[in-house]
Structure 1
Amino acid sequence: MNKGELARQYFLSGKGCTQAVAMAFCREMGLDEALVERQTIGFGAGMGRLREVCGTVSGMTYVLSNLYGNEGKAAVYAMVQEVAGKFREQNGSIVCRELLGLGKGASSPPTPDARTPEYYRKRPCPELCRMAADILEEFISNKESENKNK
């Protein structure tokens, strides 16, 4: 199973968007699933349901920071901008409320929505998790190829 489908499955099993993307890369990061699940819990729904930066983008950022943080801040920022840019190209935004079609002042209480069949029918989140993990998997693969060719 590729990383995109794995992230999608994590989301469909009840994980948040950030958790789903980050947990798909536990092996690459050398981190335990329970640790990653706990460390990323607050980033979902656009940062604690604030509906700001999409949790899938936060998940990509978390993974890149873990894998390449030793390369320095500027290098990681450039990587984040690259993958976030690809996500934006494919989806038109990296902002949760925009991706969900919510109004700018939409209220979002801290209680997560129940994961019902209706929830999954109306939300693009499983697909966004898949897309983000696919973008990240391709980025990591390309970076590893570049490093081997040096």
Structure 2
Amino acid sequence: MAINKSVTLTDREALKRAAADYHARGFNCAQSVICALAPALDIDEKATFALSEGFGAGMGGMSETCGAISGGIMALGQIKSSGFDAPGSKGATYRLARAYCDAFREKNGSTICRELKGVGGDAGPLRSCAGCIDDAIDLFVDIIKG
């Protein structure tokens, strides 16, 4: 996957600002992350918005996997995939996705939306949606930098 050189994926603060702006406009966490990354990945923001819509609130509102993580994994797939005509890269992409999730869990104590938000448990929230979005961007940049 070619990366758009006019938009830098290493400008964490600019990416996080873009994601926060999307979130403030009502985008879910997955949409906020993937749409912020889309220009640098040469993918259409409107397409990523639609494709990621069902991943919010922990996968369709089920409070499962954090949407911010889902958005980051979509971006990893965009970078690492060998493409439609040569679908042999999924093992390597799975390993990156697993490392991404492991790093997120290590940083925040969970990858589960309801646990991160403190819903239905005795413990308070582990991390806000805004914090999860920031972490998803930071971890994405860390992984692509190698």
The structure 2 residue matched to 1:51, chosen from 48, 56, 63, is: 63
1:29 positional shift: 2.1
Report the number of matched residues.
Answer: 124
Identity of aligned residues (%): 34
In the alignment, what sits opposite 1:83? 100
The structure 2 residue matched to 1:135, chosen from 133, 136, 139, is: 139
2:42 is the alignment partner of 1:25: no
Judge conservation of contact 1:6–1:130 (CA < 8 Å) in 2: no
Give deviations 1:35-82, integer Å, cap 9, x for gaps: 110110000110110000000111111111111111611100100011
Q: TM-score, normalised by structure 1?
A: 0.77
In the alignment, what sits opposite 2:24? 12
SS in 2 for 1:51: coil
- Structure 1 window deviating more from structure 2 (70-79 vs 48-57): it is 70-79
**Equivalent-residue separation in structure 2 for 1:87 and 1:4 (angstroms):** 16
In the alignment, what sits opposite 1:117? none
In the alignment, what sits opposite 2:90? 73
**Equivalent-residue separation in structure 1 for 2:107 and 2:69 (angstroms):** 13
1:2 positional shift: 2.8
Judge conservation of contact 1:3–1:137 (CA < 8 Å) in 2: no
Q: How does 1:113-128 map to 2 (within 5 A)?
A: 124-128=128-132
Gaps of 5+ in 2: 1-12, 83-87, 122-126
Greater helix share, structure number: 1
Gaps of 5+ in 1: 105-122, 143-150
The structure 2 residue matched to 1:38, chosen from 30, 50, 53, is: 50
Q: TM-score, normalised by structure 2?
A: 0.79
Amino acid at match of 2:34: A
Say what the alpha-carbon RMSD is for the aligned residues.
Answer: 1.6
Judge conservation of contact 1:17–1:56 (CA < 8 Å) in 2: yes
In the alignment, what sits opposite 2:6? none
User: Greater relative contact order (Cα 8 A, min sep 6): structure 1 or 2?
Assistant: 1
